[in-house]
Amino acid sequence: MGGAVNGPAFREATADPNTEAVPLSHVSLEIGHLYMEDFAAGPKRLRSQFEQVKPWADAALAAGANAAGGRRPRLSTCFLVDDYFTRFSTPAEVLPTLLSEAEAAGLRIDYLARESACAGTDRLPLARWAQHRLVESPAPGNNGSRPAVTKTGWLSNGERSPSSDPLEAMSQGGGWRPPSENGARRHSVFVDVELWDEHDSHDHHRDADGRTWSCPFLATVWQLLRLGLVRYEGKAVLRPQPQTGDFPGQWDDLPPLIQLNPAAAPFAAYRSVSVLPTRFLPVEHAVRVILGQLAVEEPALLQVAERAAREGLPVPREPADRISYAFYGEP
């Protein structure tokens, strides 16, 4: 989606020709996510995961170097730690073990991000920014009877069944109809994605309105950050902070995005590659559904595309088409 969309408290980026540029690598390679169950399983579990990632990471980096067309390739790696849904242990305990096991498997982590950074803060509400840029694709024949995504928190890639109760649907004379995917190739792969839920709760991850953003929605923001396509009021966001000294004892004291390798190529890139366990496949499918209905700011899209073209590395217009994956099975 190329057009810009107005949202409350969000300035229209196309009105500002001075959209800030960000440094860009050729490829951003994500070599994993860390959740509580992964760390709780111990260092051997981490080592096993990194050993499975290594050949895929090597292949992705080699492909990125080849795509650089003889230029010196700019390739950076990143890793995402969940501190949003579950606050487990501390950075001082988790991160040295994580980095040690990655190094033992022959992998280098240039940048490390906290998942809560994708939700944002009161000052920089990245998930709200993404919500206000949603442009729901209407299904053919849609009569508008279903509330908008901004009301329900659900986004689909087609037309839902008119009723979840076949008997009720038949009693209304219409009969049951299955859901259908927009633009399906004969048979549909219908996906309905929950973007957030809202409850009265004081859990640490809920925002001021009691909203918890879903994993697919935060992963969408994460991919856009890695592609250098997020601007808030025309400014670049989530600048990497150099890691100095020991890791802190609290997650809130760790910068949202840290640079572990001082010599690393830029965090954001023209294209991204994610090497993940197969359990993330449904999440990333949902990410592509969301990206297909999210209007990234046109100046940022054009800025990145023009820079890529000048380097002889043209990129697809759609952000989702700039993302590649490798999924591996877990023991």
Q: Which residue has the higher pLDDT, 207 or 279?
A: 279
Amino acid identity of residue 139, one-letter, is: A
Q: What is the pLDDT of residue 8?
A: 33
Task: Taking residues 210-233, report their average pLDDT.
Answer: 94
244-252 contacts, C-beta under 8 A, 24 or more apart: 246/92, 247/90, 247/91, 247/92, 247/95, 247/96, 248/90, 248/91, 248/92, 249/90, 249/91, 249/92, 250/90, 250/91, 251/83, 251/87, 251/90, 251/91, 251/114, 251/116
**pLDDT, averaged across the chain:** 85
Give residue 98's pLDDT.
95
What tokens appear for 278 in the block? 């197969």
The phi-psi region of residue 248 (left if phi > 0; otherwise alpha if psi is between -120 and 50; otherwise beta) is: beta
Residue 4: pLDDT band (50, 70, 90) is: very low
Confidence of residue 291 (pLDDT cuts 50, 70, 90): very high
Minimal CA–CA distance to 251: which of 38, 125, 87, 35?
87
Q: For residue 271, list its beta bridge partners.
A: 27
- Looking at the DSSP bridge assignments, the partners of residue 185 are 187
